[in-house]
Structure 1
Amino acid sequence: MIGSQRDGLRIALGADRLSNGLPHRLSPVPMPATPRLELQDLGLRFGALRALDGIDLAVQPGEIVALLGDSGCGKSTLLRVIAGLERPDRGSVRLDGAEIGGVPPEARGVGLMFQDYALFPHLTVAENVRFGLHAHPRATALALAAARLEQVGLGHRAESYPATLSGGESQRVALARALAPGPRILLLDEPFSNLDRRTRDRVRADTLGVLRETGTTTILVTHDPEEALGFADRIALMRAGRIAQIGTGADLYGRPASRFAARFFGDLFEVAAPCRAGTVATPFGPCPAPGFAEGTALVACWRPEVIRLVGPGEGLPGRVVSRRFLGTTALLSIVVEGFLEPLALPVAASDGREIGTVVHLAADPAGAFIFREERD
């Protein structure tokens, strides 16, 4: 949870008011010159800990950006800075071109949705959604709250109390409440992590649909790469208080800037070797390594999907040492000479290869990621 419940509710419910008090839908428009949110050289220390270090980020109106990373990498701290719950040591935070570093949280036009939703148990669903709409005439607040509840599919639960809601319903009420004041930007802190997988997938899809419909500029904090890939327009992958790489999901998955980024999005099969004459030697053959000096310690990495099972006499021989049934697929663990760790390779569940089977593997050397060998 980001900050205290009281501070967060002030932010989530003190956002800009819609000019007519009614929900709106934004039509696609050309990208404006001014980003909705712009962070420049943000830095923040907690004693000796450098929580944020040189953060630069621009988020366009209507864009959904995921802050992705392991626990402690700085993503929640960055959300707190945007919300106004933490003050950075250096750098600027601009919203629609205006510096908001000195603006109190409740006046920033920022909505915040909690991991635990923070619904008031003594208020009905409709009253929870109306909580931050006191500046509106009562009739307008009632209409706006009802419209937001209909939008998230919970108009029929308006008079229910939070204790009677499922986890997915609570999440949708929290979303309706955060959107009701018409925030300029919405901050989501791990909003789906408390849901079981089946409910999470459904609620996540529903939430994305609402955000697209309303054109709400959104920043999502998550530690789940799959969630970031499926939810966000762009992903800012964070590490040790910095943005390690930012781009579309396709960019980060298919063109990772580092081994750290490549590993974050799935398993890798790795081979370390020095650069020799512009290549790195691997069991699958020499891999092109342009741009590296002779003798540079390199690592060649393949994703499992580029490894092929081939016929006897082709490719590299290996031996299946374990097999794990996963429903429609099975996961084979294969020991291959030249690799320090067994290769985990998914196959169809109907594939008949069992433990002890000798298999042969091949991969296009040009399909490898090549990175400089660095300490993790």
Structure 2
Amino acid sequence: MSSNDVLGRTEGGDLRLAGLTKRYGSFTAVDDLDLTVPQGSFFALLGASGCGKTTTLRMVSGLEEPTAGRIFLGDQDVTDRKPYRRPVNTVFQNYALFPHLDIYENVAFGLRRRGVKDVKKPVTDMLDLVELGHLAKRKPGQLSGGQQQRIALARALINQPQVLLLDEPLGALDLKLRRQMQIELKRIQLEVGLTFVHVTHDQEEAMTMADTIAVMNAGRIEQMGSPAELYENPSTTFVANFLGQSNLLTGTVEGVDGDVVTVTAHGQRLTLDAARCPVRSGAVILGVRPEKVHLARTGAEIPAGHNRLTGGTVVDTSFIGVSTQYLVTLATGEEVSVFEQNTGREIQRPGTEVVVHWDPSQGFGLEGGQDIEAGAADIEEDAA
């Protein structure tokens, strides 16, 4: 079933925010935000609590009035329109289904409110899209959390919005169901071809579903790009720490030779690709993801050309099935995380003396002088 069959139209345009700002007294929740969400894309606003992502969503929906800036849908300026006059619908974390109506009537509600006489085909098509047609006569209280979320999605989509806003839509679900719904939401978005704007603090959720992620911090966009771009080439320590996990080492650029940057960090010479390092002299922060790093017992053979940090001691070993996660303390006192896939290799026990090593092409460089812990505390607060 195509998006035309289900929704009956495909026109619209990009969602564009121009200088969007929201202040509450002296506090700036959203700070001069310029952003374009391409039509038909699955876009995620990712950030910790209080970063401004939900406030941005509420301004797009019309539930909050901007202090400054404009909101455009295609060629239409919708900044001053009432919420019900915007071609935008929102799916909330709490579903907001009508408990006294069956599933069929919940989905039909928006059409009936607009005076549509024949609702049978669009409601049936929408229930088929979310694969819940067989439950049409049940009440919301008789459905699981994931089923209720899909009905909330169907009820929003049937109103033919140009943009669907998703405000932490999976936050109330348990981990296994949340992962199933991530796949389901992505399938539905691809099938209907509408613009989805998804607000979340969950990094895995954003990376699983979104074509493009904008990482927000203190009311501004820290970095925007595809999940792979942000993960492999973070531009700030905040993004490196908030999107996944990173080992970050402070150092000094010693020289650049062609495509190779040489860095001194913690008394050892390390290299990385010049294309992944914006710094050519002075202070630098060298980063490498834990799954790109390997362990070798002190004295064991290490691949030629690998970066290495010697004098390490394993202080914690955590077997989690698919991988073993190590925490290694270096002779200088810094800690390095190492995730090694479980392929039958010997597990290193706490107290083992090791060398940490990695392929130089797997590292990345960041401007020196940044807070090396930026973003890490935000993850801990959201997890609490």
TM-score range, shorter chain: 0.7 to 0.9
Q: Tell me which residue corresponds to 2:313.
A: 319
**1:257 CA drift (Å):** 1.2
Contact 1:234 1:247 in 2 (8 A): yes
Amino acid at match of 1:325: F
Partner of 1:137: 116
Which of 363, 370, 377 is the matching residue for 1:374?
Answer: 370
Matches of residues 51-200 of structure 1 in structure 2 within 5 Å?
51-134=29-112, 135-139=114-118, 141-200=119-178
**The one of 249, 264, 268 aligned to 1:281:** 264
Q: Deviation digits for residues 294-352 of structure 1, max 9, x if unmatched?
A: 5x432211111221234643442422222112123222222222452243433417433
Counterpart of 1:303 in structure 2: which amino acid? Answer: R
If the length of structure 1 is used for normalisation, what is the TM-score? 0.86
1:131 counterpart SS class: helix
* Higher strand proportion: 2
What is the match of residue 6 of structure 1? none
Q: Could you tell me how far 1:36 is from its partner in structure 2?
A: 2.1
Q: Where in structure 2 are the equivalents of 1:201-216 lying within 5 Å?
A: 201-216=179-194
Match of 1:235 in 2: 213
Aligned residues of 1:40 and 1:57 also touching (Cα < 8 A): yes
> How many residue pairs get matched?
349
How much does 1:121 deviate? 0.7
In 2, the alpha carbon distance for the partners of 1:291 and 1:162 equals 53
Are residues 205 and 349 of structure 1, via their aligned partners in 2, closer, same or farther at CA, if it must alter by over 3 Å?
same
Percent identity for Structure 1 against Structure 2: 36
How far 1:227 moved relative to its partner?
Answer: 1.0
CA contact (8 A) 1:119 1:174 kept: yes
Compared with structure 1, are the counterparts of its residues 182 and 26 closer, same or farther at alpha carbon in structure 2 (3 Å cutoff)?
A: closer
Is contact 1:54-1:242 (8 Å) kept? yes
Contact 2:288-2:362 at 8 Å conserved across structures: yes
The reply on whether 1:41 has 2:27 as its aligned counterpart is no
In structure 2, distance between residues paired with 1:326 and 1:291? 35
Letter in 2 for 1:282: A
- The code of the aligned residue for 2:211 comes to D
2:353 paired residue among 349, 353, 358: 358
Distance in 1, Cα, partners of 2:141 & 2:361:
56
Q: Measure how far apart 1:243 and its partner are.
A: 0.7
The answer to whether the aligner puts 1:346 opposite 2:346 as a matched pair is no
Query: For 2:265, what is the secondary structure of its paired residue?
Result: coil
2:117 partner letter: R
Looking at structure 1, the residues matched to 336 and 263 of structure 2 have their Cα atoms a distance apart, in angstroms, of: 21
Q: Equivalent residue for 1:306?
A: 292
2-structure distance, mates of 1:62, 1:291: 33
Point out the more displaced range, 270-279 or 161-170. 270-279
State the SS of the aligned residue for 1:356. Answer: coil
Q: CA deviation at 1:268?
A: 1.6
CA–CA separation in structure 1 for the residues paired with 2:70 and 2:269? 49
Mapped partners of 2:297, 2:349: distance in 1: 16
Per the TM alignment, residue 233 of structure 1 is displaced from its structure 2 partner at its CA by: 0.7
Q: 1:99 to 1:174 in 2, by over 3 A?
A: same
Separation of aligned partners in 1, 2:127 and 2:106: 11
State the shift of 1:75 in Å.
0.3
* SS of equivalent to 1:133: helix
Specify every segment of 5 or more residues in structure 2 that has no aligned partner in the other structure, as ranges.
Answer: 257-261, 303-307, 375-384
Q: 1:317 to 1:25 in 2, by over 3 A?
A: farther
Residues 154-198 of structure 1, C-alpha deviations (whole Å, 9 max, x = no match):
111111111111101100110110101111100000111111111
- Aligned amino acid, residue 373 of structure 1: G
Does the aligned pair in 1 maintain the 2:252–2:265 contact within 8 Å? Answer: no
After superposing the two structures, state which structure 1 stretch, 240-249 or 309-318, moved more. Answer: 309-318
CA distance in 1, matches of 2:324, 2:362: 24
Select between 130-139 and 308-317 the one with higher mean Cα deviation.
308-317
Determine the C-alpha separation between the residues in 1 that align with 2:158 and 2:225. Answer: 30
1:333 pairs with 2:327? yes
1:347–1:203 distance in 2 versus 1, CA, 3 Å:
closer
For residue 199 of structure 1, give the secondary structure of its aligned residue in structure 2.
Answer: helix
Check whether the contact 1:188–1:220 (CA below 8 A) recurs between aligned residues: yes
SS of alignment partner, residue 138 of structure 1? coil
Superposed displacement of residue 204, structure 1: 1.8
Q: Find the aligned partners of 2:209 and 2:40 in 1 and give their Cα distance.
A: 13
C-alpha deviation, 1:287, in angstroms: 3.4
Name the aligned partner's letter for residue 286 of structure 2. Answer: A
